[in-house]
Amino acid sequence: MEQERSKAASFGRAWFVLTIAFALHVFDEASTGFLAVYNPTVIALRSKWGWFPMPTFEFREWLVGLTLAVVLCFALTPLASRGVRWLRPLAWLYAVIHLWNAMGHIVSPWGAVWLMVRLRQTRQI
């Protein structure tokens, strides 16, 4: 009975998949020079709006911090698989952070699809 209740409360697979996506996202940003775009954008936004809350990063501190976060998330996967109650608020925060981050990327795929549709519609026969 206890094992069935624990299995029903488990969010381990979803946690694990999100952590894999997080790790791939970090790898993608690290290998494509994300900070070369991010830091100047933050500086420009701060000059326009002094209150803009995002920090700038050096590559090493940024990569080490995100790598530690990914390792911690992987380490917490067994607890998520057991449905540990104290991890649930952290899991909600983890999910919301990644959802907000994804919203920042959502325009690019739709822009790419629109461009493909327009290219197809305007091709010369």
* pLDDT value of position 5: 52
Whether 91 contacts 80, CB under 8 Å: yes
The stretches of 2-123 forming alpha helices (DSSP H) are: 2-9, 12-31, 34-48, 59-81, 87-105, 107-121
Domain locations in the chain?
Answer: 2-87
* pLDDT value of position 86: 94
Q: Which residue has the tokens 């996202």?
A: 25
* pLDDT value of position 102: 82
- Whole-structure pTM over 0.85, yes or no? no
Q: Which long-range contacts (CB under 8 A, 24 or more apart) does 75-78 make?
A: 76/15, 77/12, 77/15, 77/16, 77/19, 78/12
Cα–Cα distance measured from residue 55 to residue 52, given in angstroms and rounded to the nearest whole number: 9
Whether 62 contacts 35, CB under 8 Å: yes
Whether 98 contacts 21, CB under 8 Å: yes
* pLDDT value of position 101: 85
* pLDDT value of position 99: 87
Taking Cα atoms as reference points, which of 61, 69, 54 lies closest to residue 18? 69
* pLDDT value of position 114: 73
Q: Which residue has the tokens 């940003």?
A: 29
The pLDDT profile of the chain, 125 residues, written as one tens digit per residue, is 556 555 656 899 999 999 999 999 999 999 999 999 999 999 999 999 989 889 999 999 999 999 999 999 999 999 999 999 999 999 999 998 998 888 777 666 666 677 777 777 777 65
* pLDDT value of position 17: 93
* pLDDT value of position 65: 97
